[in-house]
């Protein structure tokens, strides 16, 4: 499968996370300056140079567990806190939204346009902060450099790799159910109408040619749908009209974010058994995590003056209830470093932390920074 999938997965999931957090920050009436700080901190961490370097290397997709841990860290990159139930719900919404976008992409190359829609929105979040803005612009350039030369076949392979990652996920999302883009069984609606993708003709025509290349017959057939001609192509530049709405922010104050846990059909909970054998990818995943730590400024956790908690549910009671009633098969198995029995993984992480304190480009307080980071990891 494609080794160029991870950057797109990360950026699009990150974008969805920011949409949801932005909506919740407003809904909970968090003061504007605090809300802005949270958004800025998360975006700064997301686009940290070293982190992106690691991300853009050709590699296999991370395991679901590892990716969830990365996003856990990202969500906690600032003064905001989330309980387990809210974090679970946040991740459900992010993943189902991106799965929807990947499935509905008219052609595989449009996946890049979806990514640009997310990038455009992120750029808008930080438009007042030049330092972060330049990081975002740099990422646009990296995306364009890496993805615009790819053929349609290579994009399809990326898309197929993503679809394997999202296989069997059928969590019902209230906003999708309301808009009738998702059925009550959790499957997305695939319309047999609307514009065809750019480069495709409306189905319905058979042309027969003679041996000399002249068209001898034209036959029409019923295509069983209600298709229209393709729309114009979206822009693949840093600026431009992307044309597609996939990847734009679908949330607003009036559209609450809820998910349904109960009634998820049995079939949808088929996850591949997690192998008990040591994961050979663990080192790479830890590398990325470590890079993410490295880009993080030490925040004093739980400071009563500045810290606050975000709830993805309407009330605290609902949040507690959701945690208790979450079906086992839908748990993400987030890596809890403190509790892990995998001595090797723990040792690896400690070693990487150690590397940070020894390398030249650390500040004079490197040792304490390493300790602080490790302490924060333990609290995950």
Chain residues in the site for other proteins (CB under 8 A): 1-3, 103, 106-108, 151-154, 156, 159-160, 163-164, 167-168, 170, 183, 187-190, 192, 196-197, 199-211, 213, 217, 219, 221-225, 227, 267, 270, 272, 275, 277, 280
Which contiguous run of DSSP H or E holds residue 218?
Answer: strand 215-220
Query: With 0-12 CB in 10 A as exposed, 13-18 as middle and 19+ as buried, what is 34?
Result: middle
Cα radius of gyration rounded to whole Å, the chain: 23
Which residue's CB is nearer to other proteins, number 219 or number 304? Answer: 219
Q: Which residues contact 89 (CB under 8 A, 6 or more apart)?
A: 257, 259, 312, 313, 322
* Min CB(308)–other proteins separation in Å: 39
Tell me the C-alpha distance between 5 and 59, whole Å.
8
| 44 versus 59: smaller Cβ distance to other proteins | 59
Report the residue number, 122 or 171, with the smaller CB distance to other proteins. 171
Give the residue with the Cβ less far from other proteins, 196 or 376: 196
What minimum distance in Å lies between the beta carbon of 342 and other proteins? 17
Whether residue 319 contacts residue 326, with contact meaning beta carbons closer than 8 Å, is answered with: no
Min CB(153)–other proteins separation in Å: 3
User: Please, is 307 exposed, middle or buried when counting C-beta atoms within 10 Å of its C-beta (0-12, 13-18, 19+)?
Assistant: middle
Main-chain dihedrals φ then ψ at residue 311, nearest 5 degrees = -120, 130
- Give the nearer residue to other proteins in terms of CB position, either 230 or 334: 230
The distance of closest approach from Cβ of residue 212 to other proteins in the complex, given in angstroms and rounded to an integer, is: 9
Residues in CB range of 123: below 8 A, 6 or more apart: 133, 136, 137
Q: How far is the CB of 229 from other proteins (least distance, A)?
A: 11
The count of other CB atoms within 10 Å of the CB of residue 243 is: 16
Q: Confirm if 157 and 190 have CB atoms less than 8 A apart.
A: no
Q: Which residue has the tokens 């949040």?
A: 319
Give helix 110-125 / helix 152-165 axis angle, nearest 10°: 70
Structure tokens belonging to residue 248: 């734009």
Closest approach, Cβ 142 to other proteins, in A, equals 23
CB of 116 to other proteins, least distance (A): 21
What DSSP element (H or E) covers 310? Answer: strand 308-310
State whether residue 259 is helix, strand or coil.
strand
Distances (CA, A) of 2 to 48, 154, 195: 24, 8, 28
| Least separation in angstroms between CB 316 and other proteins | 35
Helix (H, G, I), strand (E, B) or coil at 262: coil
Least distance between other proteins and beta carbon 60 (Å): 9
**Contact 216/236 with Cβ under 8 angstroms?**
no
CB-nearer residue toward other proteins: 217 or 262: 217
Specify the residue, 200 or 346, whose C-beta has the smaller distance to other proteins. Answer: 200
Of 280 and 364, the one with the shorter C-beta distance to other proteins is 280
Give the single-character DSSP code of 2. -
Q: Which is nearer to other proteins, 125 or 165 (CB)?
A: 165
User: Among residues 29 and 275, whose Cβ is nearest to other proteins?
Assistant: 275
What is the closest distance, in whole angstroms, from the C-beta atom of residue 105 to other proteins in the complex?
Answer: 10
């Amino acid at each position: 499968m494609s080794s160029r999938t991870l950057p797109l997965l990360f950026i699009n999931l990150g974008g969805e996370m920011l949409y949801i957090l932005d909506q919740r920050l407003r809904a909970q009436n968090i003061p504007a300056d605090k809300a802005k700080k949270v958004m800025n901190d998360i975006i700064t961490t997301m686009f940290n140079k070293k982190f992106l370097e690691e991300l853009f290397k050709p590699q296999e997709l991370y395991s679901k567990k590892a990716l969830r841990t990365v996003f856990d860290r990202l969500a906690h990159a600032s003064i905001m806190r989330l309980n387990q139930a809210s974090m679970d719900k946040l991740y459900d919404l992010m993943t189902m939204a991106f799965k929807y976008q990947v499935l509905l992409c008219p052609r595989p190359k449009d996946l890049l346009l979806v990514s640009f829609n997310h990038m455009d929105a992120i750029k808008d979040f930080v438009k007042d902060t030049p330092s972060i803005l330049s990081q975002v612009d740099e990422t646009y350039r990296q995306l364009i450099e890496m993805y615009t030369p790819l053929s349609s076949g290579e994009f399809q392979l990326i898309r197929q790799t993503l679809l394997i990652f999202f296989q069997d996920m059928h969590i019902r999302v209230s906003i999708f159910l309301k808009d009738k883009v998702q059925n009550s069984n959790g499957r997305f609606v695939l319309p047999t109408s609307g514009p065809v993708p750019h480069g495709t003709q409306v189905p319905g025509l058979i042309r027969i040619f003679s041996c000399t290349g002249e068209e001898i017959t034209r036959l029409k057939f019923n295509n069983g749908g209600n298709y229209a001609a393709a729309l114009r192509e979206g822009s693949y530049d840093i600026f431009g009209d992307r044309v597609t709405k996939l990847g734009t922010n679908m949330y607003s104050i009036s559209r609450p974010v809820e998910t349904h846990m109960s009634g998820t059909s049995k079939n949808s909970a088929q996850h591949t058994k997690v192998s008990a054998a040591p994961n050979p990818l663990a080192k790479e995943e830890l590398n990325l995590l470590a890079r993410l730590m490295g880009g993080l400024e030490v925040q004093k956790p739980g400071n009563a003056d500045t810290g606050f908690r975000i709830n993805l549910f309407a009330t605290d009671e609902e949040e507690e209830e959701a945690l208790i009633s979450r079906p086992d098969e839908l748990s993400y198995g987030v890596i809890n470093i403190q509790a892990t029995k995998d001595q090797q993984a723990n040792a690896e992480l400690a070693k990487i932390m150690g590397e940070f304190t020894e390398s030249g480009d650390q500040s004079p307080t490197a040792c304490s920074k390493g300790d602080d980071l490790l302490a924060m990891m333990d609290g995950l």
